[in-house]
Amino acid sequence: MRVLITGGAGYIGTELAYRLAERPDVTQVIIYDNLSRGNYNLFIGVRKFPRDKVAFINGDLLDSRKLRKSLSDVDVVYHLGAKVTKPFSDHNPHLLEQVNHWGTAEVVYAIEESKVSRFIYVSSSAIYGTSDQEVSVDTPPEPSTYYGISKLRGEEHVVRLQQKMAAYIMRTANVYGYSKSMRFDARLNRYMFEAASGQRITVNGSGSQTRAYIHIDDTTDCLEALLTADLKPDTYDLTARNLTIQEIVEGVKTVFPETETLFINQHVTPWELRVKPDARLSHLHSEDATFLEEIKEFKKQFTLDFHD
C-alpha cells in the first residue's frame, strides 16, 4: 500500500516515516511537508530510508492542486501537518486558523475526491483547554488557546469522513523523547537539553501543575498500528501518563544531579490538564518503560555530558 504523511518531516512524522518504510506491506511512503519549521534533519544522518521507497513532496496544505495530485493512488493518509509553536501559538491566530483549520479542510476535501480508504488525523489534547478535573473523550471540548480552537475545528471536518471510511481522530498529549527531528520547544525536551548542557532549569509557577504526556516511541507505535488496526473509526485520547512539572524536574535531576532549578511567578496558577489514558488504545502501544527509564535512555542521546 502507498501511504502519505502530511507534516512528515516533523517530530512525529520523521519517526512514523521510518517505521512505515520498514514494513513489507508498505510499497511507498510519501512525505508531504513545506519545511516551514526549517527542520531538515529528516534528510541527513546515518539512519537512512530503504532505497527508492520514500518520496518527498515540498507542498503546502493550502495548495489544493498539489495536494490532490499527491494523493493519486494513495491508500492511507496520516495528517500531522500543523502550525505549532510554543506556547501553543496565540501570537498569530490567523495563521493557526489558516493552516490547522482550513488546511485540514483542504486535506479532507482532497481525500473525498480520491481513492484513500483510511485517514488518521493527529489532533491535540489542547482542545480540552484547562481543567482541574481529569478529562476524557467524553468531556466536552473547551479550548482556551487559538491553537486548541484551530485543532478542534479541524476535527469537525474529519468527523464527516467517519461515515464514509476508516477515519480516526487522535488527540495527542505532549510528546517527548529523542528523535532526530525532535522539538526543543516542548517543555520536557527543553529541560533535558538545558540540564545536559549545564544550564539552569526555569519553572514558571509552583511546579504543581499537571499535564498529559506520551513518549515519541509510544506515539509512533500507536500511529503505525492504525495503518491496519481493526478499530472503530472514532475520536481517541493518545496519552500515556500525567505528570506534574515538579515530577518532571525531579526526573531530569535524577539523571543530571548537578542541575539547578529556578522557580519564577510562583504566585501565578498556570493552566493544567490531566487526560485519562484511552483503554481502547492500550493494545496499540507498549507503555512498558517507566518515565525514569525513558529519560535515562534519552540522556544517552546527548553527545556531550557537562556533568561527568
The verdict on 54 and 86 lying in the same domain is yes
The verdict on 235 and 247 lying in the same domain is no
Q: Per-residue pLDDT averaged across 75-79, rounded? A: 98
Q: What is the pTM of this model?
A: 0.94
What band does 273 get if pLDDT is binned at 50, 70 and 90?
A: very high
∠ Cα 268 272 276 (to 5°): 165
The verdict on 192 and 106 lying in the same domain is no
Q: Per-residue pLDDT averaged across 167-172, rounded? A: 98
Q: Is residue 151 assigned to a domain?
A: yes
Of residues 181 and 205, the one with the higher pLDDT is: 181
Q: Is residue 254 assigned to a domain?
A: yes
Residue 64 has pLDDT above 80, yes or no: yes
Q: Per-residue pLDDT averaged across 217-234, rounded? A: 96
Q: Per-residue pLDDT averaged across 256-260, rounded? A: 93
What band does 47 get if pLDDT is binned at 50, 70 and 90?
A: confident
Q: Is residue 153 assigned to a domain?
A: yes
Q: Per-residue pLDDT averaged across 47-76, rounded? A: 94
Q: Is residue 303 assigned to a domain?
A: no
| Alpha carbons 40 and 136: distance in angstroms, whole number | 35
Residue 188 has pLDDT above 90, yes or no: yes
Q: Is residue 95 assigned to a domain?
A: yes
Place of cell 495536494: 67
Residue 291 has pLDDT above 90, yes or no: yes
Write the CATH number for 249: 3.90.25.10
Write the CATH number for 96: 3.40.50.720
The verdict on 122 and 202 lying in the same domain is no
The verdict on 194 and 50 lying in the same domain is no
Q: Per-residue pLDDT averaged across 83-103, rounded? A: 78
Q: Is residue 281 assigned to a domain?
A: no
Q: Is residue 249 assigned to a domain?
A: yes
Which pLDDT belongs to residue 86? 53
The verdict on 206 and 217 lying in the same domain is no
Four-residue CA torsion sign, 39, 100, 103, 109? positive
Q: Per-residue pLDDT averaged across 63-91, rounded? A: 86
Which pLDDT belongs to residue 288? 75
Residues spanned by the domain of 203: 187-211+242-274+288-298
Which pLDDT belongs to residue 85? 63
What band does 305 get if pLDDT is binned at 50, 70 and 90?
A: low
Q: Is residue 259 assigned to a domain?
A: yes
Which pLDDT belongs to residue 37? 84
| Alpha carbons 64 and 2: distance in angstroms, whole number | 20
The verdict on 128 and 254 lying in the same domain is no
Which pLDDT belongs to residue 307? 47
Residue 88 has pLDDT above 50, yes or no: no
The verdict on 258 and 156 lying in the same domain is no
Structural domain count, the chain: 2
| Alpha carbons 271 and 148: distance in angstroms, whole number | 13
From the centroid of its chain, how far is CA 266?
Answer: 29
The verdict on 140 and 230 lying in the same domain is yes
The C-alpha cell at 78 is: 496520516
**Average pLDDT in the chain:** 92
The C-alpha cell at 237 is: 485520547
Of residues 90 and 59, the one with the higher pLDDT is: 59
Residue 165 has pLDDT above 60, yes or no: yes
The verdict on 254 and 157 lying in the same domain is no
Which pLDDT belongs to residue 278? 96
The verdict on 192 and 104 lying in the same domain is no
The verdict on 63 and 105 lying in the same domain is yes
DSSP 8-state class, residue 97:
I
| Alpha carbons 112 and 166: distance in angstroms, whole number | 12
